[in-house]
A and B are shown apart, each in its own frame.
Chain A
Amino acid sequence: MVKKSNLGKIKGFSIQFLPYSEIRDLGSSERIRKILKIVLENNILILQGKLKSEEETRLIEDTMAMVDHVKNFRGIELAVISGNGSEGVWNKMKKGVANAIVGGDLGAVTIVGPATIVKEIKRNPKKIELMLNK
């Protein structure tokens, strides 16, 4: 639970966890619609697994279309963390793009947050930080 005094202007948000089973049987369009619906309700989504690379681009396209049409929506921050759990985050990242594009990796975690709340998702050798807007 984040203390209210640390949140500055942010009125409120919640973090929502979505197991992969919730999107496994959905088509690409439904998956993206579900993710964006959660994010549009001012939630930071933590999704088990990851989208296929073409679904990620579709997510970006649909996000841009919504920035154009939904008042006060400025887009999303997106990060995918993947690996088998036996090595550090940095090493997992250094494994490169090849492992990051397969899609459906249940060891992966996808973080999607509204840009009005999540300023940046910073990655460095030791940690991943969600920087929130004040």
Chain B
Amino acid sequence: MVIKVVKNFFTRIFSNMFKSRRDIRLGFYGPPNAGKTSLANRICKDFTGEEIGTVSKIPHETRTIQFKEKVEIEFKGKKMVFKMVDTPGITTRIDYEDFLKYRMKKKDAKKRAKEATQGVIESIKWLDDMDIVVIVLDATENPYNQVNITIIGNLVARKIPVLIVANKIDKNRADAKKIEAAFPEYDVVGISAKYGKNLEEFYESVFKLSKKI
């Protein structure tokens, strides 16, 4: 019993020491085409000069986990180093025929669908490894989607700090207030990743959440 207590004590001490040395893993999660990669690109471009991945109007452009190490974000004189983790969009349905609407060949559409299903599985598996998760939602879409609730529910269960981003506020149909109403327990920041609008508030929220780790 005493040995177990001592062992647990040292495990905790060493894991905390290790945790404090490594970069904070900042995950971007959400449904397909919400702007996860656009936001991650915006941040990476601003602080490293390089993007993390490609964006497209065709859903499921990101089909594997993408990383950018050592992204040092500076905000109001403070600096923090993050490992950015951009994830494939999580969904409950993938139909290759949806991609045909974008004039994609059947063979390519089927390949994209297959990769997208694997991407969803990979995204879910990575949930455990995040320190902070930014849920990126499209502010023009209905937020009452079970997938959003499921992802947030899992993060709460894992005690991972969550920030919700209402993206695409530059669009006329955008309604960030609807997202705030749907998730009243969480910080919701309205931004436009495409035009870099309101990113100051986003960085402030990320820095605030970093203290909770």
- A: residues with CB less than 8 A from B are 53-54, 56-57, 60-61, 63-65, 67-68, 74-80, 93-94, 96-98, 100-101, 115, 121-124
19 other A-B residue contacts (CB within 8 Å) besides A53-B150, A57-B150, A97-B153: A53-B156, A54-B154, A56-B154, A57-B154, A61-B120, A61-B121, A64-B118, A67-B94, A74-B94, A78-B146, A78-B147, A78-B150, A97-B149, A97-B152, A97-B183, A97-B186, A101-B153, A121-B146, A122-B142
Identify A123's interface contact among B142, B150, B153, CB under 8 A. Answer: B142
Q: Top 5 A-B pairs ranked by shortest CB distance?
A: A75-B93, A101-B153, A53-B153, A115-B93, A64-B117
Q: B149 and A54: CB pair below 8 A?
A: no
A56 to B142 Cα, complex, angstroms: 20
Q: B118 and A68: CB pair below 8 A?
A: yes
Q: Which of B75-98 contact A (CB under 8 A)?
A: 90-95
A122 to B141 Cα, complex, angstroms: 11
Question: Which residue on A lies nearest to B91, using beta carbons?
Answer: A75
Closest chain-A Cβ to B40's Cβ sits at a distance in Å of 22
Interface size class of B (residues with CB under 8 A): 20 to 34
Q: Given A94-B181, A97-B185, A100-B153, are A65 and B121 also a contact pair (CB < 8 Å)?
A: yes
Across-interface contacts of B121 in A (CB, < 8 A): 61, 64-65
Q: A97 and B156: CB pair below 8 A?
A: yes
Q: Which of B112-136 contact A (CB under 8 A)?
A: 113-114, 117-118, 120-121, 124-125, 127
Across-interface contacts of B114 in A (CB, < 8 A): 68
A76 to B151 Cα, complex, angstroms: 16
Identify B156's interface contact among A68, A79, A80, A98, CB under 8 A. Answer: A98
- B: residues with CB less than 8 A from A are 90-95, 113-114, 117-118, 120-121, 124-125, 127, 142, 144, 146-147, 149-154, 156-157, 181-186
* Number of A-B residue pairs with CB-CB distance less than 8 Å in the complex they form: 94
Q: Given A79-B146, A123-B142, are A98 and B117 also a contact pair (CB < 8 Å)?
A: no
Question: Which residue on B lies nearest to A94, using beta carbons?
Answer: B181
Closest chain-B Cβ to A123's Cβ sits at a distance in Å of 4
Question: Which residue on A lies nearest to B151, using beta carbons?
Answer: A57
Q: List 27 A–B pairs whose Cβ atoms lie within 8 Å, in order of A's numbering.
A: A53-B157, A54-B154, A56-B153, A57-B154, A60-B90, A60-B120, A60-B150, A74-B94, A75-B94, A77-B92, A78-B146, A79-B146, A93-B182, A94-B182, A94-B184, A96-B185, A97-B149, A97-B152, A97-B153, A97-B183, A100-B149, A101-B156, A101-B157, A115-B95, A122-B142, A123-B144, A124-B142
Across-interface contacts of B151 in A (CB, < 8 A): 57
Question: Which residue on A lies nearest to B116, using beta carbons?
Answer: A64
A88 to B146 Cα, complex, angstroms: 18
A98 to B142 Cα, complex, angstroms: 19
Closest chain-B Cβ to A77's Cβ sits at a distance in Å of 6
Most chain B beta-carbon neighbours within 10 Å: one of A60, A97, A98, A122: A97
Q: B92 and A53: CB pair below 8 A?
A: no
A1 to B212 Cα, complex, angstroms: 53
Across-interface contacts of A68 in B (CB, < 8 A): 114, 117-118
